[in-house]
Amino acid sequence: MELHPATRLKHNHPGQALCERYLDRLPLAPAQRQRLLKQVAEQGALNSREAMTDLHIALASPDHPVDADNPALASVCSRLTISQNSLPTSVESLALTATPAQTCLPAGPTIKRHSMAPLNWPPKSSFRLFKSRRLRSNQSASAQGEHQENLDPSTSDGWQAAATVRRMVLLVLIIAQVYFSTSVMASVLPYHGHRLLEIAILILFAILSGWVSVGFWTAMMGFVLKLKGGDRYAISATTAADVPIGKLARTAVIMPICNENVARVFAGLRATYESLARSGELQHFDFFILSDSSSADNRVAEVHAWLALCGAVQGFGRMFYRWRQHRVKRKSGNVADFCRRWGASYRYMVVLDADSVMSGACLTSLVRLMEANPGAGIIQSAPQVAGRDTLYARMQQFASHVYGPIFVAGLHFWQLGESHYWGHNAILRVAPFMRHCALGRLSGRGPLSGEILSHDFVEAALMRRAGWTVWIAYDLPGSYEEVPPNLVDELKRDRRWCQGNLMNFRLFLANGVHPAHRAVFMTGVAAYVSAPLWFLFLLLSTAQLAVHALVVPEYFTHPFQLFPVWPEWDPQRAIALFSATAALLFLPKILSVMLIWIQGAKNFGGRLNLGLSMLMELVFSALLAPIRMLFHTGFVIAPLLGRGIQWKSPPRENAETSWGEALQRHGRHTLLGVVWAAGVFWLKPSYLFWLLPIVGALILSIPISVFSSRISLGQYLRKRNLFLIPEELSMPDELRDTQEHAAHAPAPPGFRDAVLNPATNAMICAVSAPRFRTLRVADSRMRMVRKALLEGPDKLDPSHKMHLLNDPVALSRLHFDVWASEDAHPAWRNYPLKPKVPSHASTRLPESIFSTEPGNTATVRA
């Protein structure tokens, strides 16, 4: 009896077994699988390579041209539609193009290019810290030219005059408080501030007192606002929740990412998307994932997650993905790249961080606020932190929820329409942002030059400089982010922020910057420079103690002095000054707790647990202060000495600190604490009592860092209702969905899957940008493919992998050669492929959506 052709080939040629193994990786129905194997058998292939060629021809559309050197390129579209059960079946919502030169699944809407370049960069310096009338009028005229409505409707309500009065009051309060505290400090010192060393101590004390005073009075005003129930100038009071959003108010929600935890990023984005869909206003929004990832595995995982997300929420045509090949200016450059390509299609854009989650109500409220305030350029929400389980993170979450609201309300009280912009969870008016907020490089060499790192403060200053207002919607709920899971990761983030703020201070004298934003630049620097000043103050105080203990006292300090001066410390005044300083630091926290007691402490575990949590947090923050002081001192000194940093994405998951890492990070500080304590004890044992909170924290820095990073301790205290936040007792739908989506996310594919797996390879080829078929590019491509084939994936450098992923011709060629060539490196053959999805999950697209017309370009309806 004559055998079936497929059976005959199976017995006579290894190509049949190879084709079967290949098809095992695709979710084909049994009948489809047998039909393909029969077609291959009927061609009578003589070897494995010919059999694989026949298989890809069988997989491809019948009228699709096939490149004999790279037949896998012809089957990309078919492999993609076979493997993806979520692709839309309507040609109106998706268009796949397949030509001999490219295969493309469109990941973005039609490009509408517009320029975005820095204006008058670098900004000229001016010692006129207050803008001239001419400059203000020019900015107002510029802003009015960009829209036909009033520059700022809230101006008639007098917010600018109110802001001036409030800031003058703040300045008077700070000066009075600094004068009083410095006078008391002078009376405490042995020579009452008449010696050179004491003068230096008093100068540092005055500066530090001013910084403490700023935070204290900001919190006090925020407490008053929260107690009253709001501010008459609050931006959130300018519109109602039920005001319809206009059809022209199209908003892009953009999320720049770079080598992030892909499962967490896309889980948060999906929760935000679904919340917006439930609000009924989804038609006004598009979502963009803007990737700067340099890791090949991350790139593959991102494309896979994007395609899966689009299928899960039916987001094709509304959820887009772009990978940027040239990572210029980091996040600010990524946002600018979006604006140049698609910004002209949108009136607003909401910028998210990789850990951001926002409710649909919050997003729609931001759009309504922008519509109600046509002079507003940026409206910043006040994101709440949640989602971590380590002890350190839970204490930071608790502090943010309890103390944060009055500080943010206080910032609003002083700043009003000249507020902060924190770079995420905020809405921006696209047209003025593109025109006025493009950033150039800072001139010079060294870490404090080049690309601006902390771009958000500068963009807010440029927006206000152009006549547009910047607001904080401090009372708008539904905006969330995460905190670093442990002290070490927080300090890594602080180092980046420190260098960014030091760079920004170079723009302090930039011509036309509003005084309020000059103050923002100054406070950004002061947040870190205060650490080395505090450290120097402590060192000088220790030196003063040594002088007092070792040097013979001088009783006559002035010529012709009639009566001696008895140099001695005044312990009573010292205790009073210490108590007053502690009150300035801790009173805002106490008042925050009292405010919650008044309004209801049930969501924080009850009044008793809230008060106990506050006391524990006070002790912990006091222990952390000296540790942060030494680290921040190093962060400030490093760029001044020419040592820069590498800007890496922070961790997006719970992470514990090992003893080895803690020893490496805190070992020198522990040794310094021991030596410092021993020296003070030798000089004057009684003085060690005053210094013990500093040196004791340094000595214990290693166990503090380790134990505070423990997840088990955080969960233990949660069970006892300590450090509770409302989101832990009654979790919002967005945060719950984020956790569930992240927990159920499958293991993502990586670079090897993109080369070996038929489905993953088709997916990456379908979204990659095709390269031109010049002779030079073709030769380079062949060398790249040959190197990868022979040497295996472990010998490829990251840039080589990224080039392959970005070239569908090269990637499909490597895919074919790895399967068909006997020269393939063993690392390719021995790699276990991901199991295929069940065949019943596949939904094949109609053949009519594949276009083979030369020069056809991919389009998608936005």
Contacts of 746 (CB under 8 A, 6+ apart): none
Region of poorest pLDDT, from 278-282, 360-364, 572-576: 572-576
Place of tokens 């080589």: 800
- pLDDT for residue 525 is more than 50: yes
Q: Give the residue among 455, 183, 486 at the shortest CA–CA distance from 336.
A: 455
Q: Say if residue 365's pLDDT is above 70.
A: yes
Cα separation, 92 vs 107, whole angstroms: 15
Give phi and psi for 538, each to the nearest 5. Answer: -65, -40
pLDDT-derived band at 846, boundaries 50, 70, 90: very low
| Amino acid of residue 266 | F
Q: Which residue has the higher pLDDT, 643 or 281?
A: 281
Q: How confident is the model at residue 776 (pLDDT cuts 50, 70, 90)?
A: low
Alpha carbon 123 to its chain centroid, in Å, reads 27
Determine the Cα–Cα distance for residues 652 and 264; give it in Å rounded to an integer.
Answer: 7
* Chain centroid offset of residue 756 CA: 33
pLDDT of residue 552: 53
- Residue 252, SS3 per DSSP: strand
**Any residues with CB less than 8 A from the CB of 572 and at least 6 apart, and which?**
none
More confident residue, 521 or 91: 521
Token duo for residue 546: 């040594």
Give the Cβ contact number of residue 114 at 10 Å. 16
Give the predicted TM-score (pTM) of the model: 0.87
Of the pLDDT bands very low, low, confident and very high (cuts 50, 70, 90), residue 153 is: very low
* Nearest-angstrom CA–CA distance, 773 and 545: 77
Range in 278-282, 646-650, 750-754, 780-784 with the lowest mean pLDDT: 646-650
Q: How far is CA 677 from CA 346, 575, 672, in A?
A: 61, 21, 8
Residue of 252, 260, 340 whose CA lies nearest to 301: 260
Say if residue 155's pLDDT is above 60: no
| Euclidean distance between CA atoms 607 and 612, whole angstroms | 9
Rg (CA), the chain: 32
Give the per-residue pLDDT at 840: 36
Q: Which residue has the higher pLDDT, 774 or 599?
A: 599
Whether the Cβ atoms of residue 413 and residue 235 lie closer than 8 Å to each other: no
b/e map of 625-634 (b: 16 or more CB within 10 Å)?
A: ebbbbbbbbb
pLDDT confidence band for 698 (50 / 70 / 90): very high
Tokens 């007053």 sit on residue: 580
pLDDT score of 259 more than 60 = yes
Q: 798-805 and 775-791 are packed helices; what angle lies between their axes, rounded to 10 degrees? A: 120
Please tell me whether the peptide bond between 122 and the residue prior to it is cis, using omega within 30 degrees of 0. Answer: yes
Separation between Cα atoms, residue 412 and residue 477, nearest integer Å: 16
Copy the structure tokens of residue 582. 């502690």
Residue 574 and residue 186 in contact, taking contact as beta carbons nearer than 8 Å: no
Strand 384-385 and strand 479-481: pairing?
parallel
Backbone CA torsion sign across 784, 786, 787, 789? positive
Give the per-residue pLDDT at 137: 40
**Single-letter amino acid code for the residue at 196:** L
Q: Which pLDDT value is given to residue 719?
A: 92
Indicate the residue type of 600. Answer: G
H/E stretch holding 451 reads strand 450-451
264 Cβ contact list (under 8 Å, min separation 6): 354, 355, 652, 653, 738, 742
**Over 90: is that where the pLDDT of 301 sits?**
yes
Mean pLDDT of the chain: 83
Q: Return the pLDDT at 29.
A: 85
Residue 858 has pLDDT above 50, yes or no: no
Task: Tell which wins on pLDDT, 4 or 413.
Answer: 413
pLDDT in tens, 626-640: 999 999 999 999 888
* Helix (H) or strand (E) segment spanning residue 348: strand 348-351
Residue 140 pLDDT class (50, 70, 90 cuts): very low
| pLDDT for residue 853 is more than 80 | no
Range with the largest mean pLDDT of 32-36, 147-151, 357-361 = 357-361
The Cα–Cα gap between 520 and 458 comes to 10
Greater pLDDT, 643 or 646: 643
Q: What is the largest CA-CA distance in the chain?
A: 132
pLDDT for 115-132, tens place per residue?
A: 898 888 878 876 665 554
3-state secondary structure 205-235: HHHHHHHHHHHHHHHHHHHHHHHHCCCCCCH
- Amino acid, res. 474: Y
Q: Which two three-digit tokens encode residue 529?
A: 């420079």
Say if residue 596's pLDDT is above 80: yes
Burial class of residue 562, CB neighbours in 10 A (0-12, 13-18, 19+) = exposed
Between 186 and 459, the higher pLDDT residue: 459
**Cα 57 to Cα 831: distance, rounded to the nearest angstrom:** 26
Quick one: tokens of 802?
A: 């990224």
Q: Got the DSSP string for 547-566?
A: HHHHSPP-S--STT--S---
pLDDT at 568: 65
Extract the tokens encoding 324: 């940027």
Average pLDDT over residues 335-361: 94
Asked if 479 contacts 383 with a C-beta cutoff of 8 angstroms, the reply is yes
Question: At 676, is the secondary structure helix, strand, or coil?
Answer: helix
Our CA angle for 83, 43, 847, nearest 5°, is 35
Q: pLDDT band at residue 647, thresholds of 50, 70 and 90? A: low
Q: Which of 535, 547, 538, 549 is nearest to 686 (CA)?
A: 549
* Dihedral sign from CA coordinates of 434, 437, 439, 443: positive
pLDDT at 158: 83
Our separate counts of H helices and E strands in the chain read 32, 15
CA–CA dist 385, 357 (Å, integer): 10
- Residue 38 pLDDT greater than 90, yes or no: no
pLDDT of 242 reads: 77
Using CA atoms, how far apart are residues 334 and 321, in angstroms rounded to an integer? Answer: 12
As given in the structure block, the two tokens for residue 438 are 């493009």
Band (574; pLDDT cuts 50, 70, 90): confident
β-pairing verdict for 319-323 and 450-451: unpaired
Candidates 409, 358, 365, 363; CA nearest to 384 is 358
pLDDT at 12: 46
| Model pLDDT, residue 2 | 38
Cα–Cα distance measured from residue 357 to residue 707, given in angstroms and rounded to the nearest whole number: 29
Quickly state the pLDDT bin for 545 (edges 50, 70, 90): confident
What pLDDT is stored for residue 844 in this prediction? Answer: 36
Q: Say if strands 285-291 and 319-323 run parallel, antiparallel, or are unpaired.
A: parallel
pLDDT, residue 408, reads 95
Rounded mean pLDDT, 781-804: 88
DSSP code, position 824: S
DSSP assignment string, 627-652: HHHHHHHHHHHHHHTT------PPP-
- Phi and psi at residue 263, to the nearest 5°: -60, -45
Asked if residue 378 lies in contact with residue 368, where contact means CB atoms within 8 angstroms, the answer is no
Q: Which of 219, 205, 129, 133 shows the shortest CA–CA distance to 170? A: 219
The angle subtended at Cα 70 by Cα 64 and Cα 74, nearest 5°, is 25
Percent of the chain exceeding pLDDT 90 equals 49
Give first-to-last CA distance, the chain, whole Å.
Answer: 59
**Given this model, what pLDDT does residue 194 score?**
75
Which run of H or E residues covers position 251? strand 251-257
SS3 assignment, position 377: strand
Instruction: Please say if the pLDDT value at position 406 is more than 90.
Output: yes
Kindly tell me if the per-residue pLDDT of 560 is higher than 70: no
Report the C-alpha dihedral over residues 682, 686, 687, 692, rounded to 10 degrees: 90
Note the residue count of the chain.
Answer: 862
